Amino acid sequence: MQYQFLKQYNDQIELLTDSRLCELTNDKVMNNGKQAMYIPDDHQVNANRYTKALLESIKRRNVERCYHTEVHHIESLKQGYKVKTQNGSFYGKKVIVAGGAWSGRLVSPHLQSHNVTGVKGEALLVEHPTLNLNTTLFMTNGCYIIPKLQHRYMIGATSYFDDYSVGVSSVGRDWLLHQASTIVPQLKDSQMLHEWSGIRPYSKEERSVMDEVAQDLFVITGHYRNGILLSPYIGALMCEWLLTGQRPEDLQDFRIERSVDNAMHY
Ligand SMILES: Cc1cc2nc3c(=O)[nH]c(=O)nc-3n(C[C@H](O)[C@H](O)[C@H](O)COP(=O)(O)OP(=O)(O)OC[C@H]3O[C@@H](n4cnc5c(N)ncnc54)[C@H](O)[C@@H]3O)c2cc1C
């Protein structure tokens, strides 16, 4: 089904024979009787470097960033908004709430907390000096293996709904290592370098929310497993919206109130 869905948009996608799978993965993958699919134009970014680049970019534009400052409340004024934080208040004519899984708390009652919830995810970074796997592998159970520079492999990711805890659990670590080494047996001998967890913002039926919930008060959340990937484009669209006052065409379908037939499919 996923093959048919993706094939509509990318004609290059192919279902792989066993020999073609061996060829593409340097014979490192055990498909265990499962069908494999190849997506030629699937690329990756280094999220760590990307985030640093974004920080550098806002610094160059003299944007001030307040670290470790929790917003407690957003109050509507005659003109604009007062954003009350633990370190005093800020005023803005236009305000965008991009609080991830916690956004509902800040723009209630426009967006109820239960409409966007948190899905905890865990990931591992391992090293294997001789594996020589150069292709990203995605499994349909949510596990993936992404080759990185210097013989490193990122293994992700678990999903726990409504779990806001911090840190990688032993259950999660074991699941990731087990799933990854079932597909790439040599990963059993890899060395663990790093592990981390985060909370993905999940919206009902996986529909992102990008809306103006009251005049000049915007909320952007619910991008679940794709928030990093989509961020440059969404940033550009939001910039256009703020500057022109017109909702961009590509954001028409992301209102909080929507008809039932325009769900996003990830
Ligand atoms: C293990 C894992 C792997 C992932 N892999 C990918 C991937 O490969 N590709 C991809 O595109 N996406 C991936 N994601 C998903 C991606 O991280 C999210 O979609 C993205 O971070 C959502 O961005 P956001 O800005 O909406 O929310 P967040 O990144 O959650 O940012 C919201 C921020 O707002 C802060 N905040 C909340 N409330 C307040 C408040 N009251 N006051 C002040 N600050 C507040 C939070 O502390 C947080 O820092 C992954 C996520 C996880 C956990």
Which DSSP string do the residues of 143-178 spell out, in sequence order? Answer: -EEEEETTTEEEEE---EET----S--HHHHHHHHH
pLDDT for the residue 203: 92
CB–CB of 153/187 below 8 Å? yes
Both 245 and 172 in one domain: the answer is no
Both 125 and 188 in one domain: the answer is yes
For every residue of the chain, DSSP letters joined together read -HHHHHHTT-TT-EEEPHHHHHHHTTT----TT--EEE-TT-----HHHHHHHHHHHHHHTT----TT--EEEEEE-SSSEEEEETTEEEEESSEEE--GGGHHHHHTTTS-GGGEEEEEEEEEEEE-TT----S-EE-TTS-EEEEETTTEEEEE---EET----S--HHHHHHHHHHHHHHSGGGGG-EEEEEEEEEEEEEGGG--EEEEEETTEEEEE--GGGHHHHHHHHHHHHHHHHHHSS--GGGGGG-SS--TT-----
Compute, in angstroms, the gap from residue 203 CA to the centroid of ligand 1: 13
Measured by CA distance, the residue closest to atom 36 of ligand 1 is 99
Distance CA 16, CA 23 (A): 10
| Banded model confidence at residue 152, pLDDT cuts 50, 70, 90 | very high
Of the candidates 125, 159, 127, the one whose C-alpha atom is nearest the C-alpha of residue 142 is 159
pLDDT in tens, 195-209: 999 999 999 888 899
Q: Which atom of ligand 1 is nearest to the CA of 119?
A: 53
Domain annotation covers residue 259:
no
Compute, in angstroms, the gap from residue 27 CA to the centroid of ligand 1: 35
ω into 109 cis (within 30 of 0): yes
Burial 191-200 (b: 16+ CB within 10 A, else e): eeeebebebb
Domain annotation covers residue 86:
yes
Measured by CA distance, the residue closest to atom 35 of ligand 1 is 99
Ligand 1 pocket, 157 CB below 6 A?
yes
Domain annotation covers residue 106:
yes
Ligand 1 pocket, 226 CB below 6 A?
yes
| Banded model confidence at residue 261, pLDDT cuts 50, 70, 90 | very low
Domain annotation covers residue 78:
yes
Both 100 and 212 in one domain: the answer is yes
Mean pLDDT of 125-149: 95
Domain annotation covers residue 93:
yes
Ligand 1 pocket, 102 CB below 6 A?
yes
Enclosing domain of residue 105:
51-112+207-251
Both 195 and 131 in one domain: the answer is yes
Compute, in angstroms, the gap from residue 209 CA to the centroid of ligand 1: 14
Domain annotation covers residue 226:
yes
Domain annotation covers residue 182:
yes
Domain annotation covers residue 258:
no
Compute, in angstroms, the gap from residue 184 CA to the centroid of ligand 1: 29
Measured by CA distance, the residue closest to atom 47 of ligand 1 is 99
pLDDT in tens, 42-93: 889 999 999 999 999 999 999 999 999 999 999 999 999 999 999 999 999 9
**Residue 49 neighbours by CB under 8 Å, 6+ apart:** none
Residue 144 predicted with pLDDT over 70: yes
Of the candidates 34, 16, 12, 13, the one whose C-alpha atom is nearest the C-alpha of residue 25 is 16
Ligand 1 pocket, 121 CB below 6 A?
yes
Compute, in angstroms, the gap from residue 227 CA to the centroid of ligand 1: 7
**pTM of the model as a whole:** 0.91
Both 91 and 212 in one domain: the answer is yes
Q: Which atom of ligand 1 is nearest to the CA of 158?
A: 1
Residue 264 predicted with pLDDT over 60: no
Compute, in angstroms, the gap from residue 149 CA to the centroid of ligand 1: 24
Compute, in angstroms, the gap from residue 159 CA to the centroid of ligand 1: 14
Both 55 and 103 in one domain: the answer is yes
